Amino acid sequence: MSAHSPVVSQLPLPPMASWRSSLRGFKQSPPDFLLDLYRAHGDILRFRGFFTVYCLNHPEFVRQVLTKAWPDYTKKTIDYRVIAGTLGKGLVTNDGPDWAHQRRLMQPVFANRHINKFDTVINDMTALTAERWRAAGEDPVRLDLDMSRVAFQVVSRTLFGAEIDEVADEMVGFLNELNQHPLRLSALLTMYPRIPLPSNRRFLHTKARLHEIVDGLVAAHGTNAEGEPDIVDHLLAARDEDSGLGMDADQIRDEIITLMLAGHETSATSLTWTFYLLSQHPEIEQRLLAELDQVLGGRPATSADLANLPYLKQVVQESMRIYPPVWGIARRSSEDSEFGGFHVPANSYLAITMHVLHRHPEFWSEPERFDPDRFAPGSGKSRHSYAYLPFAAGPRACIGASMAMLEVQLVLAQLIQQFRVTPVAGHPVIPEAVVTLKTRFGMPVTVKPR
């Protein structure tokens, strides 16, 4: 039966999870709550929170939404509407023909031939963290904050070059302030910015300051760009093939703010969890160190080295399986659809949860075990390709996936060769699902030079 067959609406609705468990469980830990629902009800179910949500837990259903019939599943969801208050019409929150046009313009900017040249910037920014870690001595450092700093420095330098350094701290402050949990009341209220509330006034003021800084940087950039082109050079030069037109100033600004936000907390989260997992699995850490030592002998890795460091990649892939930085995404169906014999009505909210897919027992044995060999060359060939989706899939997959993989591997390779990273004993390590899977109480660690 096709997804648009007229009899779809006569199919049964998916099983409904008990409403009692819904809101409280969802508030405590959305990813674990959705995993519990999967264990109780299987590959498709619905639950009632603020509204009815349909959970699609089988990779084949996910393929239908993200790839096979993707235009039928939009981003017209509350969380994306809230995020759009900050990101405007940037790639993450744009939709429809406007999005398709922007994606076409921006795709070449993220071609590997450009991205691979960022290895020097990534290594230079990582070296600044290494310097600070060396100065820390026995004192704990905040791994999560340090990874956030290095990831921000990387994305901002690759966007603008060194000229951003002076305003970088101020920008991080603004971005963090704007990047609240999209379902928090103050965030929801930003959808109605004209309501004269102190939180809305603060939001508009912060956003205006951020716009001012970005516009200033872009204006200055246009006049002094020299040397290796950075991402902003590419954005300014991008032209539509048919019309020959480039992006207007508002669009450029929205894309820049989008790349800054989408491209820094995600990579930082991945790095934080990868260091944590390695600290808990010394035998895997040793194997990684042996590979790094053999190929690099203590020096930082370049893009070209990565082909000779297969275990490094496996470690990062497996870390993103257990702790997917983007733990779940939402879509809205614009048509009635069928999934596995069930009817999902038009206009429904759909939840795709990487945290659940990455633990689906049909595709992963002992899913809680950290085992980078799951990604060894040749293994997992029969695994469904949508059972592992840290960067999503289909036309709206992460545009920065190659850059993120390069960055996470290079930062990790440099720092782990130089430091033994050990979480402070007794400090609670609890994931907190905001847009990314952060650590609720941060991650203090000691960093002992090797």
Q: Which residue, 343 or 349, has its beta carbon nearer to ligand HEM? A: 349
SS3 per-residue string spanning 46-76:
EEECCCEEEEECCHHHHHHHHHHCHHHEECC
Residue nearest to ligand HEM (CB): 400
Q: Give the whole-angstrom CA distance, residue 58 versus residue 79.
A: 23
Residue labelled with tokens 């900017």: 109
Tell me how far, at minimum, the Cβ of 128 lies from ligand HEM, in Å: 19
Per-residue x/- track, 203-242, ligand HEM (CB under 6 A): ----------------------------------------
Q: Give the whole-angstrom CA distance, residue 99 versus residue 261.
A: 18
Helix (H) or strand (E) holding 288: helix 282-296
244 in the Ramachandran plot: left (φ > 0), alpha (ψ -120 to 50) or beta? left
Residue labelled with tokens 């203090």: 444
Q: Which stretch binds ligand HEM (CB under 6 A): 54-62, 200-208, 259-267, 291-299?
A: 259-267
DSSP string, 349-377: EEEEEHHHHTT-TTT-SSTTS--GGGGST
* Given 356, 396, 435, 438, the residue binding ligand HEM (CB under 6 A): 396
Tell me how far, at minimum, the Cβ of 94 lies from ligand HEM, in Å: 7
Q: If binding is defined by CB under 6 A, does position 59 make contact with ligand HEM?
A: no
Distance of CA 257 to the CA centre of its chain: 15
Q: If binding is defined by CB under 6 A, does position 392 make contact with ligand HEM?
A: yes
Tell me how far, at minimum, the Cβ of 388 lies from ligand HEM, in Å: 12
List the interface residues with ligand HEM, window 103-122 (CB under 6 A).
103
* Given 400, 409, 410, 419, the residue binding ligand HEM (CB under 6 A): 400
Q: If binding is defined by CB under 6 A, does position 391 make contact with ligand HEM?
A: yes
Q: Which residue, 114 or 207, has its beta carbon nearer to ligand HEM? A: 114
Q: Residue 401: is it exposed, middle or buried by C-beta count within 10 angstroms (0-12/13-18/19+)? A: middle
Q: Which residue, 47 or 391, has its beta carbon nearer to ligand HEM? A: 391
* Spatial contact of 214 and 175, defined as CB atoms under 8 Å apart: no
Relative orientation angle of helices 143-160 and 165-178, to the nearest 10 degrees: 120
- Phi, psi dihedrals of residue 444, rounded to the nearest 5°: -75, 135
153 closest CA partner among 310, 303, 271: 271
Q: Dmax over Cα atoms in the chain, in whole Å?
A: 68
Q: Which residue, 399 or 413, has its beta carbon nearer to ligand HEM? A: 399
* Given 91, 147, 351, 447, the residue binding ligand HEM (CB under 6 A): 91
Tell me how far, at minimum, the Cβ of 297 lies from ligand HEM, in Å: 27
Q: If binding is defined by CB under 6 A, does position 399 make contact with ligand HEM?
A: yes
Q: If binding is defined by CB under 6 A, does position 372 make contact with ligand HEM?
A: no
* Given 14, 182, 263, 372, the residue binding ligand HEM (CB under 6 A): 263
* Given 390, 413, 417, 423, the residue binding ligand HEM (CB under 6 A): 390
Q: If binding is defined by CB under 6 A, does position 259 make contact with ligand HEM?
A: yes
Q: If binding is defined by CB under 6 A, does position 77 make contact with ligand HEM?
A: no
* Given 232, 404, 437, 443, the residue binding ligand HEM (CB under 6 A): 404
Tell me how far, at minimum, the Cβ of 373 lies from ligand HEM, in Å: 21
Q: How many CB atoms lie within 10 A of CB 167?
A: 17
Q: If binding is defined by CB under 6 A, does position 92 make contact with ligand HEM?
A: yes
Q: If binding is defined by CB under 6 A, does position 267 make contact with ligand HEM?
A: yes
Relative orientation angle of helices 249-262 and 165-178, to the nearest 10 degrees: 80
- Phi, psi dihedrals of residue 118, rounded to the nearest 5°: -80, 0
Helix (H) or strand (E) holding 445: strand 444-449
Q: Which stretch binds ligand HEM (CB under 6 A): 35-43, 117-125, 392-400, 442-450?
A: 392-400
- Token pair listed for 212: 């001012």
Count of residues that bind ligand HEM according to CB under 6 A: 23
- Token pair listed for 121: 């910037």
Q: Which stretch binds ligand HEM (CB under 6 A): 221-229, 263-271, 276-284, 409-417?
A: 263-271
* Given 62, 329, 357, 387, the residue binding ligand HEM (CB under 6 A): 329
C-alpha radius of gyration, the chain, whole number:
22
Tell me how far, at minimum, the Cβ of 433 lies from ligand HEM, in Å: 13
The sheet that has 141-142: what strands, in order across it?
141-142, 444-449, 419-423
* Given 398, 416, 445, 447, the residue binding ligand HEM (CB under 6 A): 398
* Given 180, 258, 409, 417, the residue binding ligand HEM (CB under 6 A): 258
Instruction: Please give the residue ranges that form the binding site for ligand HEM (CB under 6 A).
Output: 91-92, 103, 155, 258-259, 262-263, 266-267, 270, 325-326, 329, 390-392, 396, 398-400, 403-404
